[in-house]
Amino acid sequence: MKFKIAKNDPLKILYDNWHDCTRCPLGERARNHVLYEVMNNANPGDCDVMFVGEGPGESEDVLGRPFIGKAGKVLREGLNRISDIDGYKIVITNIVACRPQTEEGKNREPFLPESEACWPRLKNLIEIFKPICLVALGKFPDSFLSYRLREVDKHFELYKTCYHPSYIVRNGGLDSQKGQWFQYRIQECFDDTIYIYQKN
């Protein structure tokens, strides 16, 4: 995963520290360390919404980008349905940067030690981008983040939770009842971000 960023930029420092990390066994098996992706020119200190999932899947591991498999297509399609989405600065990332997989090569949730090993990266990412709204996608990201928000709470203003997009894939897609609720929650994140802008 390559970034065009200036020397001594905080994102370059983060990249240098984590792009080939072996702090846990996941890094030793990873094809790519999937650190994050920015949308609509989000920059350090200038981010509207940051989405946090569990970890990369097979497609993400191969291509080095977060949320580009089946679940990623749901998330990205949901974002494209937001009116004026091009005006929002977005960051997409995960609890862990490397693919958690079973011995059989199937996706799984990250183990707690893996998540703890990668927490300094995610914490640093939140501190760098300072999103207005931090969104946990799914039960595991919410459970993990809930115990650590005090470490980063001065770097964001809103915390939201939502279904993980893979759950929507398994339950009929965006046009299903659960998919419509997912879309509502995503829209709510951006609506609340606008409210914060107006209040300030």
* φ, ψ at 15 (rounded to 5°): -60, -50
> Mapped to the 3 state alphabet, what secondary structure does 89-128 carry?
CEEEEECCCCCCECCCCCECCCCHHHHHHHHHHHHHHHHH
pLDDT value at position 6?
53
158-193 per-position pLDDT tens digit: 999 999 999 999 999 999 999 999 999 999 999 999
HSE on the CB side for 192, CA within 13 Å?
A: 17
| Superfamily of domain 20-199, CATH level 4 | Uracil-DNA glycosylase-like domain (3.40.470.10)
Whether pTM > 0.85 for this model: the answer is yes
Domain boundaries, the chain: 20-199
Residue 35: other Cβ atoms inside 10 A: 25
In this prediction, residue 50 carries a pLDDT of 98
Q: Which two tokens stand for residue 52?
A: 């946090």
The pLDDT tens digits of the residues spanning 67-115 come to: 999 999 999 999 999 988 999 999 999 999 999 999 999 999 999 999 9
Length of the chain: 200
In the chain, the largest separation of any two C-alpha atoms, in whole Å, equals: 51
